[in-house]
Structure 1
Amino acid sequence: MEPADALARRRVVVAATLVVGTALLTWATRVEPGDALFYPVTLVLALTWAGGARLSGPVGWHATNRDRGAHPLTGGVLLGGGLLVLFLLGAVAVTRVPTLSDPVDQLLDHAREGSLPVVVVLTAVTGTAEEMFFRGSLYEALRDHRPVAVTTVLYAVSALGSGIWLLVLAAGLLGLVTALQRRGGSGVGAAVVTHLTWSLGMLLLLPLVLDALS
């Protein structure tokens, strides 16, 4: 159990980080494809999530259920892969609705028109930082206040400023899965594996699926 003063400090840091991080995420997702500003803004966003998580205190990185079930790494890959398949199948429906597909295409254009290796690295770094904050420090700050539900909702709300409804939906589903992992004792490390399996898979495979269906 975290001491009351440490918990209060954690909640202040978490609240401030959530406000700043959400504003930066809105900015990053609205930068025009091909604009070099996307790279530093996204890096600052990742540093904000990770920095806030570190300043708030321990994030629960390691698993606490190693004595039962699948290894956290294996479970993370399987869960992330399942989400990846689900979203790639959903791309078939997305191509039929321009109001949904156009914003997603614009987001993916950062990889098409920019440096793919740099975008891959930024995606991995940002995904790791998001899990440290949302399933780490934020979850710890809300341990007695429905952490699975609240962290999932706040993660989805943080994506609202992007104006990309599929990104909000993705955040909700991914946030729920990784929060349930955390509640099950898999730790933030497993949530990171799930997140990166899904996000890097989407980055690399979704453009191919959309191009094939266009």
Structure 2
Amino acid sequence: MAGMNPLSELRAFLRAALVTPVPRDHRDAAAVLRRRRLASAATLVVGGVVLWWSLRLPPGDPRFYAWTTALAAIWVGGAFLSGRLYLGRGHTRAGAYARPVVQSLALGVLLLVVFLAGGLLVGQIPWLAGPVNELLDHVRFSSVPIVLVITVMNGIAEEIFFRGALYAAIPQRWTVLATTALYAVVTVGSGVPLLVLAAVLLGLVCGLQRRVTGGILGPAITHITWSAGMLLLLPPLLQIVS
């Protein structure tokens, strides 16, 4: 809108991306909902165990590639076993609705900037930076292109499951909070407190996006924009400030 200042533009963007739902009518029959809940519960347990194991592997271990690829397959397989998934629609500046591509890219970049700013502070606190650097050793001692592909693949897979199947399996009043909490709980096994905090913040943003758009496309784009950016930019940033 003409005459809007940057702060007003930001507020309007965040309201459209995270607050005001797009009209939709996705209602599951009772039998479908039961299947979603059974498939989601089983997938959550198996996926959590595989994630815990993959992050326990030493940096550079070739099994890391296999286990993280298997993890993506578990998330996606469980999601599609649960039932139909939706891509969703987002608000446009013209007041219409469209696939939330540009909006989600912008939200992912905004989230990335916030996290990288936090990384500047973390890098100066040894007891916080230590566990993060140990996690990033999987990048430093591995093939960056392969890890990037796996990161993007797992980001998409996580959104298909957590903001797709699991979100649809939870009573509507609890969807955002419950999927955020469960997403964070799954990362506890990493032993990296900041990764759990990142899961809470990312899960909350993606959960709100899912509530607004009614689908998995927006959260998936935001997630992979953030995760790919963190993978490529956080290690050199931590080296500069350490």
TM-score range (shorter-chain normalised) is over 0.9
Partner letter of residue 33 of structure 2?
L
**Which residue does 1:90 correspond to in 2?**
118
Q: What TM-score do the two structures reach when normalised by structure 2?
A: 0.84
Determine whether 1:52 maps to 2:78.
yes
**Which residue does 1:206 correspond to in 2?**
234
Q: Secondary structure at the match of 2:232?
A: helix
Q: Distance in 1 between matches of 2:50 and 2:57?
A: 11
Alignment coverage as a number of residue pairs: 214
Alignment of 1:94-113 (within 5 A): 94-113=122-141
Determine whether 1:185 maps to 2:210.
no
CA contact (8 A) 1:65 1:186 kept: no
Determine whether 1:37 maps to 2:68.
no
Q: What TM-score do the two structures reach when normalised by structure 1?
A: 0.95
Q: Distance in 2 between matches of 1:37 and 1:4?
A: 41
Partner letter of residue 73 of structure 2?
L
Q: Secondary structure at the match of 2:88?
A: coil
Q: Distance in 2 between matches of 1:27 and 1:206?
A: 24
Query: In the TM superposition, what whole-angstrom CA distance separates every residue of 1:28-81 from its partner, at most 9, and x where no partner exists?
Result: 112111111111010111100011001101122232656647851111111111
**Which residue does 2:204 correspond to in 1?**
176
Q: Distance in 2 between matches of 1:61 and 1:162?
A: 30
Q: Distance in 1 between matches of 2:97 and 2:124?
A: 40
**Which residue does 1:153 correspond to in 2?**
181
Identity of aligned residues (%): 50
Query: In the TM superposition, what whole-angstrom CA distance separates every residue of 1:119-176 from its partner, at most 9, and x where no partner exists?
Result: 0010010000000000000010114341011001110111001001111011100000
Q: Distance in 2 between matches of 1:65 and 1:2?
A: 24
> Which has the higher Rg, Structure 1 or Structure 2?
2
CA contact (8 A) 2:89 2:99 kept: no
RMSD of aligned alpha carbons: 1.6
Q: Distance in 2 between matches of 1:70 and 1:177?
A: 19
Unaligned runs of 5+ in 1: none
Between stretches 150-159 and 177-186, larger displacement belongs to: 177-186
Q: Distance in 1 between matches of 2:90 and 2:82?
A: 21
Determine whether 1:12 maps to 2:12.
no
Between stretches 200-209 and 104-113, larger displacement belongs to: 104-113
1:186 CA drift (Å):
5.4
Partner letter of residue 67 of structure 2?
V
Unaligned runs of 5+ in 2: 1-26
**Which residue does 1:118 correspond to in 2?**
146
Alignment of 1:126-165 (within 5 A): 126-165=154-193
Q: Distance in 1 between matches of 2:98 and 2:118?
A: 28
Q: Distance in 1 between matches of 2:104 and 2:44?
A: 25
Q: Distance in 1 between matches of 2:120 and 2:91?
A: 38
Pick closer, same or farther for the CA change 1:3–1:157 going to 2, 3 Å: same
